[in-house]
């Protein structure tokens, strides 16, 4: 049966995860997905529509991989918490938790026998687990790799195969004895498939799919991806020769192992396509870095509705525009070809050229010839003098350090950009060079010390240090009194508080609104005084900081100030304060995130999760957290990073059912800013969620300014392809529809005539 990637179209988008979807797989009448949001989700289908059936929440860290054992009916999930959870698919009940790995579990596969599971881990081992019906387990450890084991598979009739970041593929017998090693990949091996004919398929960070025969000879290399290949999946619907691959280059590709690529690559509107699975009905499922599970089909009866396809095409158009950004002021298509290397250059000159396959490579002229430096992924293509950057393996960095690991070996290059987390860069460096994990703190401190003059923290017994105070991390609930906070009351004295002035819209606007609103007004002096007051009262060495740290953080309240990395680090330090004294820190944060560069410096999973947690915290924290989210939406960077967590954010906001006028205005502004982002790239599911949250808010909203902004939100949504359905949602909720009609027929106080006009315009749509 002839098939290619060109035959596939979007079937649906499943939105529910708040972070990257790292693994997907098929279960009876559905799909299972796992995510960095620490959950696994089971999606069921009636053959056409998917719906969320169950969310599994037993892991305490990122869930990185999933495997379904069909004979047993078990869903197995592996996590960065070093454990594997086993669930009964039929009931979603947790059967047992497998413990034994010393670090993150990054891959799972079905074993050779019944109730047998294979796993691989960052601890450089693979394990063969034997699991009982009651969840009890024993395991055999496969030890021999020199780096993380990223891929495992069973090779019939009695072999196990593992792939590792050490670039090697190893074969083992069931006793855990190593049989042979396959070499050929030039970077981390990320995925393996053992075929029934005895052949093996592998792929990894070198962007190559390799096809190995029974004798361990590589008989074919498949090239096409431009970046890491994370997953390859056998498409059994079309036989043993068709596989689908997913990559960091934002695409999935289909391959015939004999003839090569089938059709064009399919671009997805996300940077990383972490995982791909092929379903029995011929559909293809992906998990991506934007937190969305997507299903693609070649069956016209399962293709997405026209409005959903239109919205998806708009998202793809945005992605394509982003991908076509210029390299150093030159369009990708305008780069010279290999013929440019026929001309000699000056010594150490750099030249960027495009190869016939579309890939861009960097060459340097040395000793009379052009030498390949490496591939270029978003590099400017300039020289170090013109770009101010350092070149390493064809990519540009702010720093390229020489790290001496041994007196008997040359230094190792450590590339680093200012926008990176030093600890993440250190971990990447350790994995790449197979260094002991105990080097992590030393390498991270080296980066901090040698970049921008940020002082390196001193170690503490707890394993964590505050880079400004030298103290250990604050543990919520330790060493602090607890008092209920009402409004902005001082939680320690119950006395008066400072407040920030609320900015109200100065003129009447009618939907659609195409600009976002921010909370800008502040009295930095009062914030500074309040922070000093709280700092003096804590009496806790783990949270008390120097006055210089407080002053540095408050600088971020002034949008006109130049970006100061020390100020960003100071604010991160204060954000670890107990929730009882956190609201002035959040006030600084909501002002800081208005500036895109500062927002990028503050951004992390911890930062977003703490903000989300504050929405269910004390009223003062709740107000500042809502304002913070609203202000993050005024620039592309903030909007992009809030996108994956939108379901959780709206669900949490919808649970708020009372609050001060200031809180009401903040919530309405957040919803309004979210609706603006849907005006151009409307996605039905996101529009539905925003509409639902706005309707819930209007049920209890009493402030006229807040009601006006909420109605503007609904008006914006009705101007998208989702408009008819949104209007129907409004009309179906009589309590809200009646309230809007009331605004439309009642004269409002002076200055709020806009509420009546907006309500009248909205009422016409339903």
| DSSP output for 21-90 | EEEEEEETTEEEEEETTS-EEEEEESSS-EEEEEEE---SS-EEEEEEETTTTEEEEEETTSEEEEEETT
* Three-class secondary structure assignment of 358-383: CCEEEEEEECCEEEEEEECCCCCCCC
The CA-CA-CA angle for residues 497, 502, 504, to 5°, reads 165
247 backbone dihedrals φ, ψ, rounded to 5° = -150, 165
Low-confidence ranges of the chain (pLDDT < 50): 326, 328-329, 377-388, 394, 453-509
What sign for the dihedral angle of Cα 492, 497, 498, 499? Answer: positive
Match 């396809």 to its residue by tokens: 309
For the chain, the structural domain boundaries read 332-397, 466-480+487-494+518-655, 657-766
Would residue 645 be called left, alpha or beta, if left means φ above 0 and alpha means ψ between -120 and 50 degrees? alpha
- Detail the DSSP E strand segments found in 183-307: 189-194, 200-204, 208-212, 218-223, 229-234, 242-247, 251-256, 260-261, 266-267, 273-278, 284-288, 292-297
Tell me the C-alpha distance between 422 and 445, whole Å: 8
Tokens of residue 76, six digits: 């197995």
Tell me the C-alpha distance between 464 and 372, whole Å: 42
Coil, helix or strand at residue 222: strand
Q: Give yes or no on whether 466-480+487-494+518-655 and 657-766 have one common fold.
A: yes
Over the stretch 650-697, which tens digit does the pLDDT of each residue have? 999 999 988 888 899 999 999 998 888 776 556 778 888 899 999 999
Over the stretch 706-763, which tens digit does the pLDDT of each residue have? 999 999 988 888 887 777 888 888 888 888 888 888 888 888 887 788 888 888 888 8
Q: Which strand (E) or helix (H) includes residue 109? A: strand 105-110
Tell me the C-alpha distance between 565 and 552, whole Å: 10
The architecture CATH gives domain 657-766: Alpha Horseshoe (1.25)
Predicted pLDDT of residue 394: 47
Nearest to 21 by CA among 62, 53, 59: 62
| 583 CB-near residues (< 8 Å, 6+ apart) | 485, 488, 618, 620, 621, 623, 624
Tokens of residue 589, six digits: 């944060």
What's the gap between Cα 529 and its chain centre? 37
| 133 CB-near residues (< 8 Å, 6+ apart) | 95, 115
Q: At what angle do helices 704-718 and 753-763 cross, to 10 degrees?
A: 30
Kindly list the distances between the CA atom of residue 158 and the CA atoms of 76, 123, 161, 163, 175, in Å, as whole numbers in the listed order.
22, 24, 10, 17, 10
Q: Provide the 8-state DSSP code for 474.
A: P
| 46 CB-near residues (< 8 Å, 6+ apart) | none
What sign for the dihedral angle of Cα 338, 339, 342, 346? Answer: negative
- 466-480+487-494+518-655: CATH topology is 1.25.10
Confirm if 104 and 64 have CB atoms less than 8 A apart: yes
Tell me the C-alpha distance between 244 and 225, whole Å: 12
């Amino acid at each position: 049966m002839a098939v290619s990637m060109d035959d596939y179209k979007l079937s649906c988008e499943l939105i529910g995860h708040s972070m990257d979807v790292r693994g997907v797989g098929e279960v009876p009448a559905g799909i299972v997905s796992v995510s960095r949001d620490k959950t696994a989700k089971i999606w069921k289908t009636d053959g056409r529509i998917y719906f969320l059936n169950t969310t599994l929440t037993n892991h305490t860290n990122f869930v990185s991989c999933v495997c379904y054992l069909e004979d047993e009916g078990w869903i197995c999930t592996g996590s960065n918490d070093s454990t594997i959870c086993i669930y009964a698919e039929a009931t979603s009940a947790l059967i047992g938790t497998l413990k034994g790995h010393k670090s993150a579990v990054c891959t799972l596969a079905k074993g050779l026998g019944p109730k047998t599971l294979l796993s691989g881990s960052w601890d450089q081992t693979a394990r063969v687990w034997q699991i009982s019906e009651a969840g009890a387990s024993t395991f055999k450890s496969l030890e021999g790799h020199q780096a993380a084991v990223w891929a495992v598979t069973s090779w019939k009739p009695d072999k196990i195969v593992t792939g590792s970041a050490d670039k090697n593929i190893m074969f083992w017998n069931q006793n855990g004895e190593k049989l042979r090693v396959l070499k050929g990949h030039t970077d981390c091996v990320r995925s393996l498939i053992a075929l029934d004919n005895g052949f093996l398929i592998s792929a990894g960070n070198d962007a190559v799919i390799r096809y190995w025969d029974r004798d361990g000879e590589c008989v074919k290399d498949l090239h096409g991806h431009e970046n890491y290949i994370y997953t390859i999946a056998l498409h059994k619907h079309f036989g043993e020769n068709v596989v689908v691959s997913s990559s960091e280059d934002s695409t999935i590709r289909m391959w015939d192992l004999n003839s090569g690529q089938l059709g064009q690559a399919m671009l997805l509107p996300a940077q990383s396509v972490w995982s791909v699975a092929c379903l029995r009905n011929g559909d293809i499922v992906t998990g991506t870095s934007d937190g969305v599970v997507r299903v693609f089909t070649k069956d016209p009866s399962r293709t997405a509705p026209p409005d959903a396809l239109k919205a998806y095409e708009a998202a793809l158009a945005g992605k394509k525009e982003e991908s076509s950004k210029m390299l150093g002021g030159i369009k990708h298509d305008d780069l010279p070809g290999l013929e440019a290397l026929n001309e000699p250059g000056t010594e150490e000159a750099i030249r960027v050229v495009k190869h016939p396959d579309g890939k861009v490579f960097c060459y340097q002229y040395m000793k009379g010839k052009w030498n390949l430096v490496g591939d270029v992924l978003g590099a400017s293509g300039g020289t170090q003098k013109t770009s101010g950057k350092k070149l390493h393996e064809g990519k540009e960095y702010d720093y390229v350090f020489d790290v001496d690991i041994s007196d008997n070996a040359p230094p190792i290059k450590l590339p680093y950009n200012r926008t990176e987390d030093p600890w993440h860069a250190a971990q990447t460096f350790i994995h790449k060079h197979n260094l002991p994990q105990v080097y992590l703190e030393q390498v991270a401190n080296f980066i901090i010390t040698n970049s921008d003059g940020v002082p390196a923290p001193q170690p503490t017994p707890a394993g964590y240090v505050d880079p400004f105070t030298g103290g250990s991390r604050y543990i919520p609930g330790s060493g602090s009194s607890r008092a209920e906070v009402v409004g902005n009351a001082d939680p320690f004295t119950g006395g008066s508080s400072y407040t920030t002035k609320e900015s109200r819209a100065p003129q009447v606007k009618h939907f659609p609104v195409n600009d976002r609103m921010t909370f800008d007004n502040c009295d930095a002096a009062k914030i500074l005084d309040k922070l000093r007051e709280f700092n003096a009262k804590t009496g806790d060495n783990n949270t008390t900081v120097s006055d210089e740290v407080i002053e540095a953080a408050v600088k971020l309240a002034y949008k006109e100030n130049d970006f100061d990395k020390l100020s960003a680090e100071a604010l991160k330090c204060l954000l670890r304060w107990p929730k009882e004294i956190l609201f002035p820190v959040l006030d600084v944060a909501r002002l800081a995130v208005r500036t895109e560069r500062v927002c990028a410096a503050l951004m992390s999973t911890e930062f977003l999760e703490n903000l989300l947690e504050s929405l269910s915290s004390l009223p003062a924290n709740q107000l500042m957290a809502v304002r913070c989210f609203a202000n993050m939406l005024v620039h592309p960077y903030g909007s992009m990073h809030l996108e994956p967590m939108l379901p959780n954010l709206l669900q949490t906001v919808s649970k708020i059912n009372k609050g001060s006028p200031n809180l009401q205005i903040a919530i309405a502004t957040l919803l309004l800013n979210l609706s603006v982002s849907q005006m151009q790239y409307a996605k039905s599911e996101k529009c539905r969620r925003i509409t639902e949250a706005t309707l819930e808010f209007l049920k209890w909203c009493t402030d006229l300014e807040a009601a006006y902004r909420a109605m503007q939100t609904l008006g914006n949504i009705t101007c998208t392809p989702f408009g008819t359905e949104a209007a129907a949602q409004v009309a179906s909720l009589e309590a809200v529809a009646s309230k809007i009609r009331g605004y439309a027929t009642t004269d409002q106080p002076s200055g709020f005539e806009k509420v009546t006009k907006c309500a009248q315009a909205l009422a016409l749509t339903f």
